[in-house]
Amino acid sequence: MLNKGNTKTQGNVGLGRCIAFATALGYVVSLPLNDAQAYDLIVDNGGKLLRVQVKTSRCLAESGGYRVDLKSSSVYTYKHFDTKLCDYLFVLT
Element holding 17 (H helix, E strand):
helix 7-24
Whether the predicted pLDDT of 2 surpasses 60 = no
Average pLDDT over residues 57-61: 83
Distances (CA, A) of 19 to 73, 78, 80: 23, 26, 23
Percentage of residues of the chain with pLDDT beyond 90: 47
Tens-digit pLDDT profile for residues 19-48: 999 999 999 999 999 888 889 999 999 999
